[in-house]
Structure 1
């Protein structure tokens, strides 16, 4: 992976500080490349949403800039057996409304995840669905008993925000999902969080206003248990186009911007007024193929679904010139993907070869599969979610057309795309996935397994792929507590996906932040922009 750089200089190892500096009255304005879709911390497991969540809500644990788990609401956690975990909680935390934080709030939050009818694709429910029981020996101790061993439980719980049980009517709270866990009133909806009525957290900031398409304003939470945030007020402005984001930075409208176009960095490269940082991420951009018999947007002469043939899937991978995408569209601020997590991270395949670009062989494979004259498909993608997503999708469509797959691109805003994708409306779509655990299992368990709602597996397997051989290996891997054994199993599972190619990896994103002189941001592998980690030397 490319070293972190700022203004052409190498940076050392990333240091993460959840809260930095001393209190000041200064405000901070940040231009976002991708707007959060909700204030609700349990609504959609989306990077932009998760970054906002970390300002307002806390989880039992948190992750640093390199995705290593750190204490948060929990100060200590121990594994007391293959299926038993004990967490000791802070006793000095209150919510932004002054309500004390206790173990009951954790149970209520996890039950709400399981009862969140407005959530997208069962977001955040994997770890909770594996829980057999949660006991509370006292107000600040939790004992989790899981159905199956879960070696990644701590880092997975770092993704689940804790909300106050006082926002609903309830009796005695206990982990009994079938009986609503003691909740007697209505569960809060995404709109209840968006209008601010129940957006009560323990984080360093509180929501002042959320206006979709306009901006999000945060105000410092004076009851926060950690160090006082440096910025009294933080404003997030959604600016989906890179040009206006950079223009806003140069004009002084924004203090920090996400993802200026790499080709435009020369405009600030030699300036004493601006700096930037480029940080490799754990996000892979990939294609998802629909395996159903009656796929809605693919049309072959014989009426079949060509994606069901592995030779077609391999041909599509061979049609893509990943090096050209990285060089010409991403301006080298990315790396060609050859698996679903960058090499060197846990569970990846060591020395995996580059995915071959061979359009001539791709045409031969199509002919061998029975499609010598190709077929047609509509390719769906976002135009405002991932870095240069519309341009990348256009290039992919052209690559496919060149080998005989007549490809029409339908790029749309992410709010429409994600809703339609979760409704399984696409035959071929482009997505992105950042590993929230820093382990290969993150992508493999969410996207690839045969969907199992009870086990919380395959929640995003919208294409209906099912491979029993893969399922057996993955299920063994995610229940294996021994790191060496689990890593070998994950490598085996990953190799199976690359062999069968139900998903086609394209590239790994790097993230760029630019900011005015006097500020510093060291970047994060999860691509989150955190105001709490933006520091000032003024």
Structure 2
């Protein structure tokens, strides 16, 4: 460990020591590898950001601990009997924001319009939504350009803001995260959720206080009176903090420490499969790459090169050696939870270096080439080690990789910018709608500069696939829709736009008096948690 990292670890442990010394039994000290990227609830469609914001803000509909759809700020929802292109939502009454403002239909209309605006990273979820209308103070209609059977599923991470507070603080438009914009909503929040934001030091510590005026205070345990959320990037430091009693709950348990923690007196470890696949993406559309040593050509644009890379990866080896068995090899970028996933689609090639080298030779790259890979080092379990394993695999077929490993706060903007600033990169993708359309719309549809393809920096563009993807949002015949999903998967898998690696598994570790079940979306919900006296 470098001197700088040692100092940082000491500072982090010092901060948690202070918390441990002053916290009572009703304080939950929560640590994970990375922080929320922003408190603006529409600026980033990203797991850790949503996980923290779910405690402060709320959605119309959500998912409980079992993954079942439930009403949150909406008590009922249905297709408008007079307009098949719209859904009607009955709103929960008697709800207030943390500043005391009443929650009304105006706030829902404002929030939906904000979520589909140009700088919102949530707009890709709502590509067919044309707007929202107030029917009365407790009823809202959300309108799409056509029938949208999955509209409620797309709302589980779309948070509702207080219109009055947003206007007063100049945050009517979402933060432009990719451009590095700073706004009041980046570090301040005003939701209807079970916890109130007390203080926020990005990448250091966030403190939440139980909202005693929460509408659900008598329906849910809402056990922790205070939550102290601390990002600790170093795996060893995170585990040491739990073992020493400085934190109560570690969300991102290093896979190499699961067995040891499971046998540690006073420590509980809960395991589960995450709704997320880890994979590599690459620029397949450019005429030339910025970071390779091939002049006037793009090796990744050649399907044979992509197939060779896919064949070079030893998924089972990565699962066993890098992930210590805590992952499942994947052949498509969809976890098993998702509608459209099948065992047949999930088949993946066994590593075959000789066959891969033959494909490289056939493509004209028998002597190999050099390229740059971008990798986060604080987002996914063992993300940097996964990239290092892939560097070795690609090296065996003649592709020399320059690995750039950095924080996800620097990594994700490279993918989202237009034009993108990465040729080859690692990313993980969860599917909160539990439907393949979510994957297709964000990752395979042509980047249209608006709502579709927002996480597709690959340059992949297939007009036939685009049309099939668009049809999924309005197709109400389930059999026909599932058939279209199957056709899309068959095509995009054959095109090898991405190199799937594995479905990530999760381990949560905590002191024995706390029991926090693994959440498939890796968004632990503390309002369900009881605290031992």
Normalised by the length of structure 2, the TM-score is 0.89
Note closer, same or farther for the CA distance 1:50–1:255 as it changes in structure 2 (3 Å cut): same
Q: Which region of structure 1 is more displaced relative to structure 2, 469-478 or 372-381?
A: 469-478
Match of 2:529? Answer: 534
Note closer, same or farther for the CA distance 1:146–1:523 as it changes in structure 2 (3 Å cut): same
Q: Quick one: which of 462, 465, 479 aligns to 1:467?
A: 462
| CA distance in 2: counterparts of 1:421 and 1:133, whole angstroms | 28
| CA distance in 2: counterparts of 1:477 and 1:273, whole angstroms | 49
Instruction: Tell me if the contact between 1:278 and 1:523 (Cα under 8 Å) persists in the aligned partners.
Output: yes
1:164-179 paired onto structure 2 within 5 Å: 164-169=162-167
Q: Does 1:443 align with 2:439?
A: yes
| Displacement of 1:33 | 1.6
- Per-residue CA shift, 1:183-237, capped at 9, x if unaligned? 99964645312332xx110000011111012111001112210025211110001
Match of 2:155? Answer: 157
Instruction: Tell me if the contact between 1:67 and 1:436 (Cα under 8 Å) persists in the aligned partners.
Output: no
| CA distance in 2: counterparts of 1:127 and 1:376, whole angstroms | 36
Q: Does 1:434 align with 2:430?
A: yes
| Displacement of 1:376 | 1.0
Note closer, same or farther for the CA distance 1:90–1:344 as it changes in structure 2 (3 Å cut): closer
Match of 1:58? Answer: 58
Q: Does 1:351 align with 2:350?
A: no
Match of 1:202? Answer: 192
| CA distance in 2: counterparts of 1:187 and 1:480, whole angstroms | 31
Note closer, same or farther for the CA distance 1:497–1:387 as it changes in structure 2 (3 Å cut): same
Instruction: Tell me if the contact between 2:156 and 2:432 (Cα under 8 Å) persists in the aligned partners.
Output: no
1:130-149 paired onto structure 2 within 5 Å: 130-149=128-147
Match of 1:294? Answer: 288
| CA distance in 2: counterparts of 1:25 and 1:66, whole angstroms | 27
Q: Quick one: which of 98, 101, 125 aligns to 1:99?
A: 101
1:55 alignment partner, SS class: coil
Q: Quick one: which of 303, 309, 324 aligns to 1:316?
A: 309
Unaligned runs of 5+ in 2: 1-23, 176-181
| CA distance in 2: counterparts of 1:463 and 1:243, whole angstroms | 35
Q: Which region of structure 1 is more displaced relative to structure 2, 184-193 or 86-95?
A: 184-193
- Per-residue CA shift, 1:381-412, capped at 9, x if unaligned? 11111110000000001100111111111111
- Per-residue CA shift, 1:259-295, capped at 9, x if unaligned? 2222222323233401101110111111111121132
Q: Quick one: which of 390, 409, 417 aligns to 2:411?
A: 417
Match of 1:483? Answer: 478
Q: Which region of structure 1 is more displaced relative to structure 2, 348-357 or 199-208?
A: 348-357
Match of 2:452? Answer: 457
1:399 alignment partner, SS class: helix
Q: Quick one: which of 255, 266, 272 aligns to 1:279?
A: 272
| CA distance in 1: counterparts of 2:136 and 2:172, whole angstroms | 27
Match of 1:20? Answer: none
| CA distance in 1: counterparts of 2:463 and 2:444, whole angstroms | 11
Instruction: Tell me if the contact between 1:379 and 1:427 (Cα under 8 Å) persists in the aligned partners.
Output: yes
Instruction: Tell me if the contact between 1:338 and 1:505 (Cα under 8 Å) persists in the aligned partners.
Output: yes
| Displacement of 1:511 | 1.0
| Displacement of 1:133 | 4.0
| Displacement of 1:508 | 0.8
Q: Quick one: which of 393, 402, 413 aligns to 1:399?
A: 393
| CA distance in 2: counterparts of 1:26 and 1:523, whole angstroms | 21
Instruction: Tell me if the contact between 1:447 and 1:460 (Cα under 8 Å) persists in the aligned partners.
Output: yes
| CA distance in 2: counterparts of 1:258 and 1:330, whole angstroms | 16
Paired residues in the alignment total 495
Q: Quick one: which of 66, 85, 89 aligns to 2:91?
A: 89
Q: Does 1:262 align with 2:264?
A: no
Instruction: Tell me if the contact between 1:478 and 1:486 (Cα under 8 Å) persists in the aligned partners.
Output: no
Instruction: Tell me if the contact between 2:112 and 2:131 (Cα under 8 Å) persists in the aligned partners.
Output: no
Match of 1:79? Answer: 79
1:535 alignment partner, SS class: coil
Q: Quick one: which of 365, 372, 381 aligns to 1:378?
A: 372
| CA distance in 2: counterparts of 1:345 and 1:415, whole angstroms | 28
Note closer, same or farther for the CA distance 1:116–1:220 as it changes in structure 2 (3 Å cut): farther
Match of 1:40? Answer: 40
Note closer, same or farther for the CA distance 1:66–1:474 as it changes in structure 2 (3 Å cut): farther
Q: Quick one: which of 226, 233, 240 aligns to 1:247?
A: 240
Unaligned runs of 5+ in 1: 1-23, 171-182
| CA distance in 2: counterparts of 1:299 and 1:468, whole angstroms | 31
Instruction: Tell me if the contact between 1:258 and 1:512 (Cα under 8 Å) persists in the aligned partners.
Output: yes
Q: Which region of structure 1 is more displaced relative to structure 2, 528-537 or 489-498?
A: 528-537
Note closer, same or farther for the CA distance 1:185–1:269 as it changes in structure 2 (3 Å cut): closer
| CA distance in 1: counterparts of 2:127 and 2:483, whole angstroms | 25
- Per-residue CA shift, 1:313-370, capped at 9, x if unaligned? 1111001000000000000111111112123531113433233321111111111111
| Displacement of 1:115 | 4.2
| Displacement of 1:66 | 4.2
RMSD of the TM alignment (CA)? 2.0
